[in-house]
């Protein structure tokens, strides 16, 4: 038995009925990363200098040495870039991802953030890589980040974003922090819930595309107008989706040392000017979005097949294919994951087992199905599912003549093909079932066997949709 932990489905195109405050068509969420003074530096006890997200092409860590050019680029962010961005955004609700050690070295900037009413979320203890840390070491870093953040800011963080994270980060942050949200994800345009740290944890995903970091990578922005154009295009697409009834969230990521440069700041200003020309735009902090989402879209309790033990899984789904529990037993052994925690996912898993079975075994499944309006129905011996399906098509209220017709067709069909006539009655009426009976009875056996198998799968699909809907 194998379980695949990644959720490749999300909302599956069935977006929640999002109602942003004031009926907004889009939520615009701007993040300012404050990392300057928290980056790799031997002054901070690190083994080497920083090499990430700067103007220096091809930068590499310098073990045991300070990198003067790198340090001064980061210092530009705190000395000049922060204030330029602050002047543009001070009247807009934004979120600061604050590295705890960087905030501790920036009392004046912190005071300006607080005066602007910005949310200050935690960006970890230091702006360093966590991928090679043990879980215990990273847990200790998270605890210390929250402690220092609370000491410096005055309140504990309600949001978390490590950025240079490990596979354990979300679980550890959820476990250690009392967090309204975690942002270490780029997986959606809307918040979503996960099981992490032993509880339901809200994820408010972040962005790598609408992010000024692309000025610092090869496949990125070169000029300010490229950044501006990309932000506008992203806004326009999401705004149109909101007008069509499916509002989303636009995340924008900024860094003091990058967006704070004059040629980029002016591009940011032009993009902001474009946003505010539209009605129904909600500028919000991530904390505001998280609190709104938790109120309007709390975590839902539902079937989670990928988390079931085998006995529970077979009990829940063993009857989907008529009297054929072996199909559910086989499906349980597949590589199930969160993407299977819905009707389509379980249907696919069950169908794979059915399709891969021998022809004799599939014939056994066909023969497990009752005749339509046959003797089992008359004797009240159908399964609950079959009884309800046949009743839905009116097959439980036939006239004597209709019943006689069905029984003769059943007998002729079985004599010709060697298995009962099978059709997804929920897709049909009494009249269309009779029409299909007359049409299909003359098929050759191989063609009719294939059609009967398709109908068995369709019956299973409809049963699963009903099961998950309730």
Active site amino acids: 369
Q: Tell me the C-alpha to C-alpha distance, in Å, between residue 97 and each of 78, 88, 100, 162, 276.
A: 14, 17, 9, 9, 24
Q: Which of 171, 183, 196, 1 is nearest to 96 (CA)?
A: 183
Which are the contacts of 29, defined by CB distance < 8 A and separation ≥ 6? 94, 95, 204, 249, 250, 251, 252, 283, 284, 285, 286, 289
Q: Do residues 9 and 345 make contact, with C-beta atoms less than 8 angstroms apart? A: yes
Strand partners, 275: none
Other beta carbons within 10 angstroms of residue 400's beta carbon come to 7
* DSSP secondary structure of 64-87: TS--HHHHHHHHHIIIIIHHHHHH
Q: Do residues 36 and 75 make contact, with C-beta atoms less than 8 angstroms apart? A: yes
Instruction: Pinpoint the alpha helices (H) of 105-202.
Output: 107-115, 135-153, 169-176
SS3 for 386?
helix
Whole-number Å distance between alpha carbons of 397 and 18: 44
Which are the contacts of 328, defined by CB distance < 8 A and separation ≥ 6? 313, 314, 316, 317, 318, 320, 321, 350
């Amino acid at each position: 038995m194998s379980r695949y932990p990644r959720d490749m489905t999300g909302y599956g195109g069935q977006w929640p009925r999002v109602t942003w405050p004031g009926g907004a068509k889009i939520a615009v969420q701007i993040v300012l990363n404050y990392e300057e003074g928290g980056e790799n530096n031997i002054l901070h006890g690190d083994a080497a200098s920083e090499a990430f997200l700067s103007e220096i092409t091809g930068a590499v860590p310098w073990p045991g040495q300070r990198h003067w050019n790198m340090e001064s680029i980061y210092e530009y962010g705190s000395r000049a870039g922060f204030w330029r961005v602050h002047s543009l955004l001070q009247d807009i609700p934004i979120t600061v991802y604050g590295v705890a050690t960087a905030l501790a070295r920036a009392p004046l900037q912190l005071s300006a953030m607080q005066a602007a009413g910005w949310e200050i979320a935690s960006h970890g203890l230091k702006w360093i890589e966590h991928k090679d840390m043990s879980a215990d070491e990273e847990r200790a870093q998270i605890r210390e980040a929250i402690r220092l953040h609370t000491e410096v800011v005055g309140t504990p963080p309600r949001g978390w974003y490590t950025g240079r994270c490990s596979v354990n980060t979300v679980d550890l942050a959820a476990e250690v922090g009392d967090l309204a949200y975690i942002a270490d994800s780029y997986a959606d345009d809307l918040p979503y819930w996960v099981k992490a740290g032993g509880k339901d944890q809200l994820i408010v995903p972040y962005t790598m595309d609408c992010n000024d970091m692309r000025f610092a990578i090869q496949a990125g922005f070169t000029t300010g107008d490229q950044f501006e154009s990309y932000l506008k295009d992203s806004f326009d697409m999401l705004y149109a989706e909101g007008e069509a009834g499916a509002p989303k969230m636009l995340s924008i990521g900024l860094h003091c040392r990058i967006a704070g440069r004059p040629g980029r700041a002016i591009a940011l200003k032009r993009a902001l000017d474009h946003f505010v020309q539209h009605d129904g735009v909600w500028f919000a902090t991530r904390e505001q979005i998280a609190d709104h989402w938790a109120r309007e879209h709390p975590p839902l309790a539902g079937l989670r097949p990928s988390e079931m033990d085998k006995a529970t899984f077979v009990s829940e789904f063993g009857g989907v294919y008529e009297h054929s529990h072996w199909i559910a037993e086989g499906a349980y052994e597949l590589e199930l994951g969160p993407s299977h925690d819905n009707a389509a996912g379980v249907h696919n898993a069950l169908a794979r087992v059915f399709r891969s079975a021998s022809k004799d075994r599939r014939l056994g499944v066909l023969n497990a199905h009752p005749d339509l309006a046959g003797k089992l129905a008359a004797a009240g011996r159908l399964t609950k599912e079959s009884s309800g399906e046949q009743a839905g098509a009116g097959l439980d209220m036939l006239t004597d003549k209709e019943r006689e017709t069905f029984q003769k067709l059943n007998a002729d069909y079985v004599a010709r093909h060697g298995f009962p006539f099978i059709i997804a009655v929920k897709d049909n009426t009494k009249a269309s079932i009779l029409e299909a009976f007359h049409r299909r009875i003359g098929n050759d056996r191989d063609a009719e066997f294939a059609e009967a198998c398709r109908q068995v799968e369709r019956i299973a699909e409809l049963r699963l949709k009903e099961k998950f809907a309730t």
